[in-house]
Structure 1
Amino acid sequence: MARRQTPALDEALDRWVDAGGRRAWPLGVDFHEMWSALGRCSSGGKRVRPELLLTAHRCYGGGDHDVVVRVAAALELLHTAFVIHDDVIDRDLVRRGSHNVSGTFVERAAERGASADGCLTAGVAAGVLAGDLALAGAVRGIALCGANRPMTERLLDLLDHSIAVTAAGELDDVLLSVCESHDVAVEDIVTMQQHKTAVYSFQLPLQAGALLAGAPEDAQEPLGAVGRLMGIGFQLVDDLRGVFGEESTTGKSALGDLREGKLTTLIVHARSTVAWPHIAPHVGDQELTENTARVVRDLLEESGSREFVARLAQDHLDQGLRTARESGLPAELVTELTLLSAEILESVA
């Protein structure tokens, strides 16, 4: 499901950024720069979530284009908010090869002579606030999308559920990584990923798109199941990309997850292999070099951990497609999801 040319979606996001920029000028140069950094974060990317919504809407025979585009733009703002907040939590300063919101303000504070600690504080503050603004924009976008009141309330229910589940998943992700425990199983990580990524990235767009198209209410449950399964597969692949991917395509350093000591399925599986004593000293090493990371990647391959996660990802994607077919979802939607599954797997081939 390659990204379609959707000028209306880009225009809706540009209008939001431009309107915010005009409001930001009277509030100070720093706030305007934060808004500009937020705007840069919301541009580009594959737009997986709005494209899924638009695809589901089209496959269920949806008609009102203006309303669905506004909701699709809101989902991209939701993703922007989560990306910015995730960068704050992970202490990442770069996204897609350039400074993210936090990185921009770390640099601005340094130029004004702030201490190292002060620079980091400025970065955290800007990231938290910019993410909050994007989140507010997402809620406002759905509330004012133009749908009738019952439809809008249903959309807001889906959004509210997704935000709460994602927040729970993000918290679990942090606690699993920072709390020393060797009792964590692969299943625990998969559950966390379902909460942190799958619900808002796949379940929400599919269900919202179908809802806007007037699909039968009984389609919501299978769409949710398909979304969760495919979203887990998507995140498992992202775990692999976080260690084995190219920064030019992932937008993040391939050293980040290892340096942070992020507890992913890759690391949990590696703990059970004979290679772990050689891998463990480098997981969470803030000074990890590319040369050492290359050795770690080789060990993760030789131990079978990379293959294990790749198989697990494919299993979830395949199960999602089987569920879609067996649940009687529209044939066109099954075809689009099949193409998307192939694209996801190809990214780590």
Structure 2
Amino acid sequence: MTTHASTDQSSPAGPRTMTGEKGFIDEVTRAAISDRLEQIGLQAQQRSAAYSAQAAVLWSQITARLSTGKLMRPALVMLGYRAFSGCNEVRAIDLGCAFELLHSALLIHDDVVDKDFVRRAEPTISALYRDQALTVGRSQAEAEHAGNSVGIIAGDLLISEAIKLAARAAAGTDSESVVEQAFFQAIEQAGAGELEDLLYSLGSAPATTSEVLRMEQLKTASYSFQLPLQAGALLAGATMGQAENIGTVGCQLGVAYQVIDDVLGTFGDPSCTGKSVESDLREFKSTILLALAAEQPEFAQMLNGLRSGHVSVGQIRQELVDQGTEQFARHLAQALCSRATGSTAFRDLPEQAQQLLRTCSHLILERRR
């Protein structure tokens, strides 16, 4: 298939670098994406107000949270787009925003699955509606059910909006069908990864290291790195081979990102991560840390004790410290990044893409939140 970059709007001139604590995106582009996300949320709020005041209120809560993260996925769409000299950044920003809407939806659903009511050190949407239910006299269980139900609805609304936006971003281009296919693949693989994550947590033993890495590829690397880069490249007019190369590199970086996420989930500073260091352990999440430690039979027995209530989360965490799992995991992430930036797929990319992906690799390994 031959693809061509759209030319109905020029991209802003000048070089761009990824700087600052947010890391993955330059400030000018970040502002443009943030403004577009706010516009999308306000438009959805206005549409819903015509038929449901409550839906409009929910959209206002959703909109307030859309630009509070790193905006990493839109940044990677833009990286893929610019790597292949795309020249319609309005379309690229919309495609990036579609991935961010999807990410927001998955975070909300993930919090429901994990029974978490705090995200980025702030109450989740589920927590807000839980608290409303408590104020009118509902029991704790009823209130949490109500809050989580709203969370599911909010995630569904975001996924619907994300699909519409991705379709509009690619509409009328030569790459329309392949960009849409990449976006749908992101939804499908994220769902598969979330399912595997949940089912592993129900098992009598933690998932193996290879199983966890495969699950993290589906749950995070695919929709957060591989497919945003790939979709952005395709939208710019890259060939399928070129898009697959940048996606392959992105996939390895994405797994490294999730490995570091596992480390921060247990050993990070909650004031930076916005999340309890006991949450993953409390929910028996199959992280790379547990997989590494569970290679020792004694640790597997401790986990059984945690399930039965005879071993505390604090004891499990201390055992992870004693086994040096944080260091092992960080070494694994380093190896994944080195493999990504040393691969043939990486060397075949344009020089600009190589430079930006090296920056991504550094940011992944140095992240604290």
TM-score > 0.5 by shorter chain: yes
SS at match of 1:319: helix
Q: Find the partner of 2:323 among 303, 309, 312.
A: 303
Q: Find the partner of 1:115 among 127, 139, 143.
A: 139
1:60 deviates by 1.4
Aligned partner of 1:193: which letter? E
Consecutive unaligned residues in structure 2, runs of 5 or more: 1-17
SS at match of 1:144: helix
Aligned partner of 2:222: which letter? V
Aligned partner of 1:338: which letter? R
Does the CA-based 8 Å contact 1:203-1:223 persist in structure 2? yes
| Residue aligning to 2:341 | 321
Q: Residue 4 in 1 paired to residue 33 in 2? A: no
1:40 deviates by 2.5
Q: Find the partner of 1:235 among 241, 244, 258.
A: 258
Q: 5 Å matches for 1:1-349?
A: 1=18, 2=23, 3-5=25-27, 6=29, 7-145=31-169, 147-181=171-205, 184-273=207-296, 276=299, 280=303, 283=306, 293=314, 296-323=316-343, 326-347=346-367
Q: Which moved more, 1:21-30 or 1:139-148?
A: 21-30
- Per-residue CA deviations over 1:138-182 (Å, capped at 9, x if unaligned) read 101011226415422221111111111111110000000112135
Does the CA-based 8 Å contact 2:38-2:66 persist in structure 1? no
SS at match of 2:144: helix
User: What is the rounded CA distance, in whole Å, between the counterparts of 1:9 and 1:324 in structure 2?
Assistant: 32
| Cα 1:285–1:241 shift into 2, 3 Å | farther
Aligned partner of 1:265: which letter? I
User: What is the rounded CA distance, in whole Å, between the counterparts of 1:29 and 1:131 in structure 2?
Assistant: 18
Does the CA-based 8 Å contact 2:259-2:288 persist in structure 1? yes
| Cα 1:324–1:234 shift into 2, 3 Å | farther
| Cα 1:285–1:234 shift into 2, 3 Å | farther
| Cα 1:100–1:168 shift into 2, 3 Å | same
User: What is the rounded CA distance, in whole Å, between the counterparts of 1:226 and 1:203 in structure 2?
Assistant: 7
TM-score by length of 1: 0.91
Identity %, equivalent residues: 32
Does the CA-based 8 Å contact 1:49-1:205 persist in structure 2? yes
| Cα 1:284–1:198 shift into 2, 3 Å | farther
User: What is the rounded CA distance, in whole Å, between the counterparts of 1:137 and 1:282 in structure 2?
Assistant: 44
SS at match of 1:145: helix
Aligned partner of 1:4: which letter? D
1:71 deviates by 0.7
User: What is the rounded CA distance, in whole Å, between the counterparts of 2:34 and 2:145 in structure 1?
Assistant: 33
Q: Which moved more, 1:68-77 or 1:16-25?
A: 16-25
1:114 deviates by 1.1
Aligned partner of 2:159: which letter? L
User: What is the rounded CA distance, in whole Å, between the counterparts of 1:125 and 1:287 in structure 2?
Assistant: 32
User: What is the rounded CA distance, in whole Å, between the counterparts of 1:272 and 1:321 in structure 2?
Assistant: 29
| Cα 1:27–1:188 shift into 2, 3 Å | same
Q: Which moved more, 1:10-19 or 1:215-224?
A: 215-224
| Cα 1:229–1:20 shift into 2, 3 Å | same
Q: Which moved more, 1:200-209 or 1:299-308?
A: 299-308
User: What is the rounded CA distance, in whole Å, between the counterparts of 1:81 and 1:175 in structure 2?
Assistant: 20
| Cα 1:249–1:274 shift into 2, 3 Å | same
User: What is the rounded CA distance, in whole Å, between the counterparts of 2:66 and 2:49 in structure 1?
Assistant: 19
TM-score by length of 2: 0.87
Aligned partner of 2:341: which letter? L
Does the CA-based 8 Å contact 1:325-1:334 persist in structure 2? no
SS at match of 1:114: coil
- Per-residue CA deviations over 1:35-84 (Å, capped at 9, x if unaligned) read 22212331211011100111121121111111111111111101111111
| Cα 1:330–1:287 shift into 2, 3 Å | farther
Aligned partner of 2:26: which letter? R
Does the CA-based 8 Å contact 1:225-1:323 persist in structure 2? no
User: What is the rounded CA distance, in whole Å, between the counterparts of 2:301 and 2:359 in structure 1?
Assistant: 38
